[in-house]
Amino acid sequence: MVSGVADPAPIRPFWSSSYWHYRYDGGDDEQKILWLSAGAGYKVGPLDARTAYRRRWVSGHSPMLWDRYGNLEELYQQFAFPVGKDVSLAVRGAYNIRTSDWFERAYILSYDTSDCLKWQLVYRDDLSRENDDWISMKLVINAFPDKPLAFGDKKLSSPFPF
């Protein structure tokens, strides 16, 4: 995986990429996957906004259904704003460019103690056919900001590195 985050205020561009090559026993099946994410974080008044483009290219296939990936192209937009002392609310939408459908909304209520702990209450509204909605509580320990440690039973798929 290769990634980068720049920090020229007031805009923070970021990018990441990864390449995976899977080979399977007992046949000629193989799957090659290339991921690319690019975007920026920026301020709009009191709003903390983030925009990201994510793309996955896949060649080949897996003999196992659970491991079979396809091409995708997505756009993410998130806005976070303060709702009280040390409390913020983020609203995020995810759009599938290939199918022209919104496939996910997420609401993240965060309590950041500004020392080393952050609590998050996350609600995910799955807008796809699976309708896999869920709610989760997460504790994030930021003692080492480069490697935050998180405890929680559900995790949002996110292209945002910060």
Q: Is residue 33 part of a domain?
A: no
How confident is the model at residue 149, as a pLDDT?
74
Q: Is residue 108 part of a domain?
A: yes
Q: Is residue 42 part of a domain?
A: no
Confidence check: pLDDT of 146 > 80: no
pLDDT average, residue stretch 97-123: 92
With 0-12 CB in 10 A as exposed, 13-18 as middle and 19+ as buried, what is 60? middle
Q: Is residue 120 part of a domain?
A: yes
Bridge partners of 136, per DSSP, are 122
Task: Name, in order, each residue with C-beta under 8 angstroms of 107's C-beta and a sequence gap of 6 or more.
Answer: 89, 90, 91, 92, 122, 123, 125
How confident is the model at residue 73, as a pLDDT?
97
Q: Is residue 3 part of a domain?
A: no
What is the total count of domains within the chain?
1
Q: Is residue 56 part of a domain?
A: no
Domain of residue 85, residue span: 71-151
The structure tokens listed for 153 are 């039973």
Q: Is residue 27 part of a domain?
A: no
Q: Is residue 82 part of a domain?
A: yes
pLDDT average, residue stretch 81-87: 94
